Homo-oligomer: A and B are copies of this chain.
Amino acid sequence: MSDSSTVTAPSGRHCLKLGLPKGSLQDATLEKMAKAGWNITVSSRSYEPYVDDSELSIRLIRAQEISRYVELGYLDAGITGYDWIQENHSNVHEIGEFVFSKATRQATRWVLAVPDESTIKSVHDLEGKRIATEVVGLTKRWLDSHGVKAEVEFSWGATEVKARELVDAIVEVTETGSSLRANKLRIVETLLESTPRLIANHLAWKDEWKRQKVETLFLLLRAAMEAESKVGLKMNVRDRDLKNLLESLPALRNPTVSSLSLPGWVAVETIIDESVVREIVPRLKAAGAEGIIEYPLNKVVY
């Protein structure tokens, strides 16, 4: 297990060891990796899936543990949530955050929740109480920062059901709050908002080859996510209508305008948010655009 920071591929070429989250986030992560250009094949029970890049070596590990092994150098880099980096207090290099641009996607939040009828209204009411959570470290540090003393116990899951009679409060993860509401729990405070991050081991980051590999990975994952909410729009318009069309439609910023062989007409092409197409198409038609088509995209790099 020594010497893990100098992993090389069988052929003697460089190799980056990358940790990806096993379990509930696994499918979503592998789908993003495929869109970015890396196809990963997981056989059952496999911890080392196949990836079609000899410079990359994938490990499937629980999201909770990835930052730990990146810090220790067993992994060069990994994708995990900001929450678990904080819970593990891991000293790693953070390359960047993945912002899901789809409107319905939200950051996950770790919140303090209590039964609807509880008298607890703020962190200060927790003095001397018992709290169950999967993130014991994070919760303790948060209580410390508020000068509150309370007992924090580790929960193996199904934490919501404990808040009513087994403990006084819980610290639990939520996206929309619907699971909490279903258990008749009320959110008191938010401890942390979390999004997925690409992280690297500090030594790996100082290695020129590894840093470039990680940066490329980040660039292409971002490009693939960006493309999920974008489409290409193409149309023909008369020369004389072009200026008016562009001025009246600020969404068409930075379009590609190319001349056509038919005199007096140009082709206009641009990339826009899928969500504005339904508003912009009627206005493009009104402004003289003809033959408007919308086509899908795989990647968008600004």
Residues of A within 8 A of B (CB): 1, 4, 22-23, 36-39, 41, 43, 45, 47-48, 50, 52-53, 59-62, 64-65, 69, 74, 103-104, 155-158, 160-162, 165-166, 168, 178-179, 182-183, 212, 215-216, 219-220, 223, 227, 231-232, 236, 242, 254, 256-262, 266-267, 271, 274-275, 277-279, 281-282, 285, 290-302
Docked CA distance A53–B232 (Å): 21
Closest to A168 in B: B1
B257 engages A158 (CB within 8 Å): no
Residues of A contacting B: mostly? mixed
Known A47-B162, A62-B156; further 11 A-B contacts with Cβ < 8 A:
A39-B103, A52-B104, A53-B278, A61-B161, A61-B162, A69-B166, A219-B285, A254-B291, A285-B301, A294-B300, A296-B296
Pick the contact of A258: B1, B59, B178, B267 (CB < 8 A). B267
- Given A61-B158, A183-B45, check contact A297 B297 (CB 8 Å): no
A52 engages B166 (CB within 8 Å): no
Docked CA distance A48–B215 (Å): 44
B285 engages A292 (CB within 8 Å): no
Pick the contact of A293: B219, B271, B290, B293 (CB < 8 A). B271
B259 engages A104 (CB within 8 Å): no
Q: How far is the CB of A239 from chain B (nearest CB, A)?
A: 9
Copies in the complex: 6
Docked CA distance A4–B167 (Å): 13
B104 engages A231 (CB within 8 Å): no
**Residue of A64, A220, A301 contacting most chain B CB atoms (<10 Å):** A301
Pick the contact of A216: B62, B166, B232, B278 (CB < 8 A). B278
Q: How far is the CB of A176 from chain B (nearest CB, A)?
A: 9
Pick the contact of A259: B50, B258, B277, B290 (CB < 8 A). B258
Q: How far is the CB of A302 from chain B (nearest CB, A)?
A: 7
Closest to A132 in B: B65
A301 engages B278 (CB within 8 Å): no
B223 engages A281 (CB within 8 Å): yes
